[in-house]
C-alpha cells in the first residue's frame, strides 16, 4: 500500500498487506504469548505500559510527524492524539488493578454458599480502527486490553497504517513481547479475516461496515463493541454564556477538520439570542487558520482525501441551493491543496436536507 500525505501529496511510506497465511501464523504466536502474559503479574504488565507512557512523550515529535504525514491534520490535532493516549495509559495504570480485582458477592443460599466475581481476559482481542485518529484509536484502545492480560490484533485503516506501526514499535521498545500486539495491514478483506480468529472484536467506523461486523461476530458468538457515526446536536438557551458556548462549538465542530464521530454538526439556538450567537460563531470560524504546517502555527489541516473534501463541498452546495445561507466559509481551498475545505457555518438549513440529518464528517456546522 502506497501512502501519501493528503495535504501535500508527498509520499509518506509503504506497508505490505498481510496475507491470510501470515495472519493465521500470527494468531498462533499471539495465543502462545498471551498465555504467558496472563500468568505474569499485573504489576509487571503495568511497568511496561508505564515505560510506554514515558517513551511516547519522549518521542512526541516523531509521533506528530507520523500522524500528520498520513492524515494531513494540524500539529495541534496530532498533539490531541498523543495527549489522549498518554492520559489513557495513566488512567488505567491508576485504576486498572482495582477494576480487575475479584469481588465477593452474595451466595445463592446465605451462610451455605458464597460467590466471587472474577475477571478473565478474552484471550485475543481484535481492533478494526478508522483513519481519523490513527494513533489514538489503535494503540490507545490496545492499552487496556493488554493490561487486562490479552493479546491484541489491530487492523488499522489502509489509509493510515503508519501510526499503528509506530505505536507497536514504541510498545516493543518498552518491553512488550511483539507477539502480543500484531498489526495486520490491508483492506476490508483483512478485517473480515481478523474477525474469524479473535475472541472479541471492537470496531470504530461507519454504520454500514458496523452492521457487517455485528453479523460476523454474531455468527461466531463472540462479544463485540461498535462505535459508529453520529449527528450530534448542541442546544443553546437564551440565558447561556454565549461567548463560552460559541468557543465550545468552534472547538467541537472544527477540531480534526470535523472528522470526528462526536463532532457537533447541528445547533439549536433559542430565537432571542440566535443572531448574536451566529455572529460570534461566524467570527470565530472565519479566524481559524487553515493549511499545512509541521509547527503549531495553524489550527486546522486538510481532510483525509480529496474525494472526502469533494463530498463535503457537494453537500454544502446542495444546502445552499435549497436555501441555506453561508455565515462563514463555504468553499474548498484548492489554493492550499485538493483536500482542504474552509470551516463552514450555515443557517436557514432545511430540516430535511441531507446536511441537517445525515453525518457530514467534515468542517461544517448548521445553526
Compute the distance between CA of residue 306 and CA of residue 336 in angstroms, rounded to an integer: 12
Closest CA to 167 of 138, 147, 141: 138
Sequence-ordered strand ranges (E) for the chain: 2-4, 11-14, 103-105, 115-117, 124-128, 151-155, 181-183, 200-204, 224-227, 232-236, 264-269, 325-328, 344-347, 364-366
Compute the distance between CA of residue 17 and CA of residue 193 in angstroms, rounded to an integer: 13
Q: Which three cell numbers stand for residue 37?
A: 502474559
273 and 240 in contact (C-beta within 8 Å)?
Answer: yes
**Secondary-structure percent of the chain, ordered helix, strand, coil, rounded to 5:** 50, 15, 35
Does the annotation count 17 as an active-site position? no
Compute the distance between CA of residue 304 and CA of residue 361 in angstroms, rounded to an integer: 11
Which residue is catalytic, options 158, 261, 338, 359?
261
Which residue is catalytic, options 22, 97, 158, 227?
227
Does the annotation count 261 as an active-site position? yes
Cβ-count burial of 234 within 10 angstroms (0-12 exposed, 13-18 middle, 19+ buried)? Answer: middle
Compute the distance between CA of residue 357 and CA of residue 236 in angstroms, rounded to an integer: 19
Map residue 127 onto helix, strand or coil: strand
Catalytic residues: 227, 261
Amino acid at each position: 500500500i502506497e501512502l501519501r500525505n493528503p495535504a501535500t501529496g508527498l509520499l509518506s511510506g509503504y506497508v505490505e498487506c498481510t496475507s491470510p497465511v501470515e495472519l493465521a501464523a500470527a494468531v498462533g504466536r499471539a495465543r502462545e504469548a498471551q498465555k504467558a502474559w496472563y500468568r505474569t503479574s499485573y504489576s509487571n504488565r503495568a511497568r511496561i505500559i508505564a515505560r510506554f507512557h514515558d517513551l511516547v512523550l519522549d518521542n512526541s515529535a516523531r509521533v506528530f510527524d507520523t500522524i500528520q504525514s498520513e492524515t494531513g491534520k494540524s500539529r495541534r490535532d496530532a498533539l490531541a492524539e498523543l495527549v489522549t493516549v498518554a492520559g489513557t495509559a495513566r488512567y488505567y495504570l491508576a485504576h486498572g488493578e482495582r477494576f480487575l480485582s475479584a469481588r465477593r458477592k452474595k451466595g445463592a443460599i446465605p451462610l451455605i454458599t458464597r460467590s466471587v466475581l472474577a475477571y478473565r481476559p478474552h484471550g485475543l482481542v481484535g481492533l478494526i480502527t478508522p483513519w481519523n485518529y490513527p494513533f489514538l484509536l489503535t494503540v490507545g484502545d490496545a492499552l487496556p486490553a493488554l493490561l487486562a492480560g490479552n493479546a491484541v490484533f489491530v487492523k488499522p485503516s489502509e489509509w493510515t497504517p503508519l501510526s499503528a506501526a509506530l505505536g507497536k514499535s514504541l510498545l516493543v521498545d518498552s518491553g512488550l513481547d511483539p507477539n502480543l500486539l500484531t498489526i495486520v495491514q490491508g483492506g476490508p478483506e483483512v478485517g473480515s479475516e481478523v474477525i474469524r480468529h479473535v475472541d472479541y472484536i471492537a470496531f470504530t467506523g461507519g454504520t454500514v461496515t458496523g452492521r457487517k461486523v455485528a453479523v460476523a461476530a454474531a455468527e461466531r458468538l463472540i462479544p463485540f463493541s461498535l462505535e459508529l457515526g453520529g449527528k450530534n446536536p448542541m442546544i443553546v438557551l437564551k440565558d447561556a454564556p454565549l461567548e463560552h458556548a460559541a468557543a465550545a462549538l468552534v472547538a467541537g465542530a472544527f477540531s480534526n477538520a470535523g472528522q470526528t464521530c462526536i463532532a457537533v454538526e447541528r445547533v439549536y439556538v433559542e430565537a432571542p439570542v440566535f443572531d448574536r450567537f451566529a455572529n460570534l460563531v461566524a467570527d470565530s470560524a472565519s479566524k481559524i487558520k487553515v493549511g499545512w504546517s509541521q509547527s503549531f502555527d495553524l489550527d486546522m489541516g486538510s481532510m483525509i482525501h480529496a474525494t472526502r473534501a469533494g463530498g463535503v463541498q457537494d453537500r454544502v452546495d446542495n444546502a445552499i441551493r435549497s436555501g441555506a445561507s453561508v455565515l462563514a466559509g463555504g468553499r474548498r481551498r484548492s489554493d492550499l491543496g485538493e483536500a482542504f475545505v474552509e470551516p463552514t457555518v450555515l443557517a436557514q438549513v432545511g430540516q430535511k436536507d441531507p446536511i441537517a440529518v445525515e453525518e457530514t464528517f467534515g468542517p461544517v456546522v448548521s445553526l
